């Protein structure tokens, strides 16, 4: 009787233990949203109080803010008391787009360069702009456009961080203009550049940082982090960051779910690497500057 009870207790203990291993608790620490847009169509549907509350509920304590046009960024930067109350630090970036037409020609448009200079001179209520972007290049050859090259050099000279949605070929081209520019690669290859190619770029360009929203192949359908990406994070623990990429209003509507998705796979990494990707690496980009 006594030994039977002991055997049952042992069995229950083993089952509880096995369950604990299979179901890791989500990462519960701080998050830094290093790819956020607050575009004009979001302003009406998701007012300032609402987006800050979404960040607070999701455990997001800092954001790279940019918007088309730059009004949304300025609104976030001006809401100092509300952002402080929500525990959110706003790092403003200059967007290169005044409207959707600018997406396709900014890299050769001198008026964009002038607009960026003007914005940088003005700054925001939250302090100077800290970066440029997000910008897009749908044809990597346009990384050699005259304004693209000048903006990369401007970022290098002024120690601004660049947020770029480009392919792997354009990473090499952009950094050839200004090899010391700190460049956040939005999505780390949204077209699915092989992990080996991402590794090659990380090794070649010490100022390259990979952002992980929409990255194909990062996790499988059941949410397990791929072994190849785990190995890449282990090799470059200081080089990856997270972002919501709220490029359409649906992303604001699902902001909490997006962050919960990150928390689920971060828990599959060592606590130290998880914390670096979750917030430490993005914080380091803006620490002790200016």
245 forms part of the interface with Zn ion (CB under 5 A):
yes
Which of 33, 102, 119, 134 binds Zn ion (CB under 5 A)? It is 134
Q: Which stretch binds Zn ion (CB under 5 A): 56-64, 123-131, 247-255, 268-276?
A: 247-255
Between strands 31-37 and 161-165, the pairing is unpaired
Among 84, 109, 106, CA closest to 95: 106
255 forms part of the interface with Zn ion (CB under 5 A):
no
CB closer to Zn ion out of 240 and 247: 247
CB closer to Zn ion out of 39 and 269: 39
Query: Which residues have a Cβ under 8 Å from the Cβ of 275 and sit 6 or more positions away?
Result: 29, 30
> Smallest distance, Å, CB 214 to Zn ion?
9
Question: Cα–Cα–Cα angle for 235, 238, 239, nearest 5°?
Answer: 85
Residues in contact with Zn ion, counted by CB under 5 A, come to a total of 3
3-state secondary structure 52-67: HHHHHHHCEEEEEEEC
Q: Which two tokens stand for residue 248?
A: 């359409």
Q: Which stretch binds Zn ion (CB under 5 A): 22-30, 43-51, 133-141, 259-267?
A: 133-141
247 forms part of the interface with Zn ion (CB under 5 A):
yes
- Give the residue ranges of DSSP H helices in the chain: 2-22, 40-45, 48-58, 71-78, 80-86, 110-122, 146-158, 168-177, 195-204, 227-235, 249-253, 255-266, 271-275, 281-286
Q: Which stretch binds Zn ion (CB under 5 A): 48-56, 61-69, 128-136, 217-225?
A: 128-136
> Smallest distance, Å, CB 7 to Zn ion?
57
> Smallest distance, Å, CB 193 to Zn ion?
17
Cα–Cα dist 35/243, whole Å: 4
CB closer to Zn ion out of 102 and 134: 134
Q: Which stretch binds Zn ion (CB under 5 A): 3-11, 80-88, 123-131, 246-254?
A: 246-254
33 forms part of the interface with Zn ion (CB under 5 A):
no
CB closer to Zn ion out of 193 and 273: 193
Report CA torsion sign: 69, 74, 76, 79.
negative
Cα–Cα dist 138/120, whole Å: 26
Residue nearest to Zn ion (CB): 245
Provide the terminal-to-terminal Cα distance of the chain, rounded to the nearest Å: 73
CB closer to Zn ion out of 99 and 222: 99
CB closer to Zn ion out of 27 and 247: 247
Cα–Cα dist 68/261, whole Å: 26
For Zn ion, the binding residues (CB under 5 A) are 134, 245, 247
């Amino acid at each position: 009787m006594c030994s039977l009870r002991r055997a049952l207790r042992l069995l229950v203990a083993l089952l509880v233990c096995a369950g604990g291993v299979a179901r890791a608790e989500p990462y519960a620490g701080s998050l830094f949203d290093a790819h956020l847009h607050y575009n004009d169509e979001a302003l009406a549907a998701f007012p300032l109080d609402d987006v800050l509350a979404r960040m607070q509920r999701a455990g997001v304590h800092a954001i790279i803010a940019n918007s088309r046009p730059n009004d949304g960024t300025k609104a976030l930067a001006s809401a100092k008391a509300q952002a402080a109350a929500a525990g959110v630090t706003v790092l403003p970036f200059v967007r290169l787009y005044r409207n959707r037409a600018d997406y396709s020609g900014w890299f050769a448009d001198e008026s964009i360069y002038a607009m960026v200079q003007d914005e940088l001179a003005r700054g925001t209520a939250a302090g100077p702009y800290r970066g440029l972007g997000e910008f897009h290049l749908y044809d990597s050859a346009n990384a050699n456009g005259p304004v693209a090259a000048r903006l990369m050099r401007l970022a290098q000279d002024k120690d601004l961080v660049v947020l770029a949605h480009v392919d792997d070929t354009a990473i090499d081209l952009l950094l050839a203009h200004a090899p010391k520019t700190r460049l956040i690669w939005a999505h780390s290859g949204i077209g699915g550049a092989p992990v080996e190619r991402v590794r090659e770029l990380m090794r070649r360009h010490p100022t390259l940082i990979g952002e992980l929203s929409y990255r194909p192949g990062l996790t499988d359908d059941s949410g397990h982090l791929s072994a190849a990406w785990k190995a890449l994070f282990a090799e470059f623990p200081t080089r990856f960051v997270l972002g919501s990429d709220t490029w359409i209003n649906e992303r604001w509507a699902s902001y909490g779910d997006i962050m919960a998705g990150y928390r689920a796979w971060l828990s599959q990494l060592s606590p130290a690497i998880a914390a670096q990707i979750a917030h430490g690496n993005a914080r380091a980009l803006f620490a002790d500057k200016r």
